[in-house]
Amino acid sequence: MPSNTLPNAPAKYIFLDRDGVINRDSADYIKTWEEFEFLPGSLTALQKLTTAGFRIIVITNQSIVGRRWVKPEILQDIFKRMCTAIEAHGGRVHDVFFCPHTPDDGCNCRKPATGLIEKAARTHRIDVSTTIMVGDSAKDIVCAHKAGCKAAVLVKTGNFETAQTLLKRENLVPDVVAADLLAAATWVLDTEA
């Protein structure tokens, strides 16, 4: 147990988008493990958050399933390998929630809808008002605000320029803009200390 966590302290949760936050995003989507590339500093960030007692939950849109470009079992294998690599570097992903639908499906789980966060909150009994969401797109920030997260952090390692334009149009601003996941983790740890 991390030394800065009291034995009966409530768990601290952080929601992370995947593509553009943990790993390099691709206009062609991540369809195989060979296409998955951790962003610089992300493994260190995940290790620091884990050591500080955060439970990391990945919240990600994965329309490649709905588009039938990747079978669900391939996506699950990518998630499993990602989690194994993170654990090998001292981090831990507590859970992964993903939306398999396309934008045209009208589901309630595809960000910016809040279904994935709501499902995570039900599954793990999370008080969403105590959580932080880190993402690289406007969808992540809108989702965090709509779900009632305490803070929404926008990283510059993915769709930052597009996100800024869309957020300005929605009259929304992230609580923090960070260079990457490591910078975001540093802000979280400084803020939550």
Using CA of residue 192, residue 144, residue 72, residue 158, what is the dihedral sign? negative
- Assigned fold of 12-159+171-192: Rossmann fold (3.40.50)
Calculate the CA 43 to chain-centre distance.
13
Helices (H), the chain: 42-51, 72-88, 115-124, 138-147, 160-169, 181-192
Determine the pLDDT at residue 192. 81
Determine the pLDDT at residue 193. 64
Determine the pLDDT at residue 6. 43
Determine the pLDDT at residue 8. 53
Low-confidence ranges of the chain (pLDDT < 50): 1-7
Looking at the annotation, which residues are catalytic? 17, 19
Determine the pLDDT at residue 11. 80
- CA separation, residue 103 to residues 111, 138, 185 (Å): 9, 15, 30
